[in-house]
Amino acid sequence: MTKRYWNITFEEMMKAGVHLGHDTRKWNPRMAPFLSAKRKGIHITNLTKTARFLSEACDLSFDAASKGKQFLIVGTKKKAADSVTRAAIRARCHYVNKKWLGGMLTNWYTTETRLLKFRDLRTKQKTGKLNSLPKRDAAMLKRQLSHLETSLGGIKYMTELPDIVIIVDQQEEYTALQECITLGIPTICLIDTNCDPDLADIPIPANDDAIASIRFILNKLVFAICEGRSSYIRNF
């Protein structure tokens, strides 16, 4: 894996609140190696470890993107949803920011069938074919389209399983993480002080509740992906 410099500064991380963990009573003992202190009843993440693992995640993302690999970004809680959408669009990644549907990856055949239906309905809507149907039928299909847009809108162009999955909140997206583990898909996970670092291929110890912290981590990963994609295009 190529080692690069990603300009990850302690000042930026402190400003984004990356170091702030959960209440000391709500922690996972496996996170102990990633913590530096306790302050006012909360654990403080060791930012040296954060910088190290974030750099490693950026290296992996760059290398994968430079080989044309596909990414899926997952973050469905309200604080993460908007940042996930922006990051995914900027880096041309697939994303899930509403609700993770159980079996989305492990039952790929069903997901693929629903995606084909989704694409078909979108095409019919764009070409005006839905409006030419009887009102009752058109209304029913438009409701289906709206539902599919909510649940599958971020992966509408995904034609195969992703090569790497970036997970914003390990606890919140546990089902998605388990599906990745089952299928052997590498994961990059933001892990707060209540998470299990052993479940992620590359754990990034960081505050997964603060919008600024989530945005900081995603911005670094997105930059690495974009740089990798540029390299892929130049060498294609």
> Quick check: 96 and 74 in contact, CB under 8 A?
yes
Tokens 């540029």 sit at which residue?
230
Could you read off the pLDDT tens digit of each residue along the chain, which spans 236 residues? 666 778 899 999 999 999 999 999 889 999 999 999 998 899 999 999 999 999 999 999 999 999 999 999 999 999 999 999 999 999 999 999 999 999 999 999 999 999 999 999 999 888 888 888 888 888 899 899 999 999 999 999 999 999 999 999 999 999 999 999 999 999 999 999 999 999 999 999 999 999 999 999 999 999 999 999 998 776 65
pTM of the complete model beyond 0.75: yes
For the chain, give every residue range classified as CATH 1.10.287.610.
108-153
By residue count, the chain amounts to 236
Task: Supply the CATH classification number for the domain 21-102+162-235.
Answer: 3.40.50.10490
CATH assignment of 108-153, among 1.10.540.10, 3.30.300.30, 3.30.300.20, 1.10.287.610:
1.10.287.610
For the chain, give every residue range classified as CATH 3.40.50.10490.
21-102+162-235
Among the listed residues 234, 236, 232, the one whose alpha carbon sits nearest the alpha carbon of residue 71:
232
